[in-house]
Amino acid sequence: MPSLKEIKGRIGSVKSTLKITSAMKLVASAKLRKAQVAVENMRPYRQRLDGILADLKAEIAARQEREEPVGEISTLYTAPRQEKRSVAIVAMASNSSLCGGFNANAVRLTLETVEHYRREGVTDITVFSIGRKMADAMKKCGFPSPEDFTKLAEQPAYEGVSALGASLMEAYAEGRFDRIDIVHNHFVSSASQKPVCEPFLPAAPVAPDEAGKPASGRGFLVEPSPEEAWNQLLPLVIRLSLYAALLDSIAAEHAARTIAMQTATDNGEDLLDDLTLEYNKGRQQKITSEILDLVGGSLQ
């Protein structure tokens, strides 16, 4: 049985740890609210762009049915390729730990995605790691990131993400990659984060909203033509999807850290109660023993 001094030392250590976990929980909660606002502010913008693309596509299809002259529509980023010789994976995690299984889940799904393509016969696989934890894990597995993207995991500026998206689109257009996927944790709720693998290229031209229908963008006069507007707008929407995935991942990270720190705080408080009870029992036992010694000495 540990001495009272040892138990008292453990109580002090647990109290110090509780102060840290409680503070980290508050910080993570504040960052989570900020990340949720960023996701919610971007969602209507993206849905409106998807609606405009849907309307442009419908207008082009209607003109084709009427056998009217239609300009060239670029399918460079939307047409799937039959043969996959080279694949890229944009894998997202965090720069720090203490967020439960957030990083481990993302790393595991990334490795499962790599194994899936290997079974399909793809040997040329490149992993673009966003986040220090993902970069370290992939490097150990033999997939070092071509560039350092750790800053994007802490400061998800659109300019940096857009530059990465443009670089990936250029590589796809030149044939260096036949498919590009995004692996990240999807923010379902404050208590739930789900690792997902989503296609980046080739891209689905229109992403439906929660109701299953694209947000309408009808009522626009398009100049010089719907085809030119489609060709100009589609790359913007594709780059925006990468930014949306990163914001989603960051919100999931802060949610996971909030839950992890709450769990650690609860466990610490339970441990503190047990240690306090053990200390009080030991102190009472020591006092009782001293009283018995005094009584025994007086009787002699």
What domains are defined for the chain? 33-258 (3.40.1380.10)
pLDDT for residue 119:
94
What is d(CA 174, CA 155) in angstroms, rounded to the nearest whole number?
Answer: 29
- pLDDT tens readout for residues 110-127: 999 999 999 999 989 999
pLDDT band at residue 208 under the 50/70/90 scheme: very low
Q: What is the pLDDT of residues 149-171, one digit of tens each?
A: 999 998 889 999 999 999 999 99
Residues whose CB is less than 8 angstroms from the CB of residue 43 and which lie 6 or more positions away in sequence, other chains included:
none
- Is 211 a residue whose pLDDT tops 60? no
End-to-end alpha carbon distance in the chain = 31
The two counts, helices (H) then strands (E), for the chain are 6, 4
Q: What is the dihedral of CA 266, 269, 270, 275, to 10 degrees?
A: 160
Q: How far is CA 258 from the centre of its chain?
A: 14
d(CA 190, CA 10): 32
**What predicted TM-score, i.e. pTM, was given to this entire model?**
0.86
Q: What percent of the chain has pLDDT over 70?
A: 93
> What's the pLDDT tens digit per position in 13-60?
999 999 999 999 999 999 999 999 998 898 888 888 888 888 888 888
Reported confidence tier of residue 217, pLDDT bands at 50, 70, 90: very low
Q: With 90 as the cut, is the pLDDT of residue 131 above it?
A: yes
> How much is the pLDDT for 210?
43
192-201/124-130 β-pairing = unpaired
In the chain, how long is the greatest CA-to-CA distance? 120
Residue 179: CB atoms within 10 A of its CB come to 19
User: Looking at the predicted structure, is the pLDDT value of residue 207 above 50?
Assistant: no
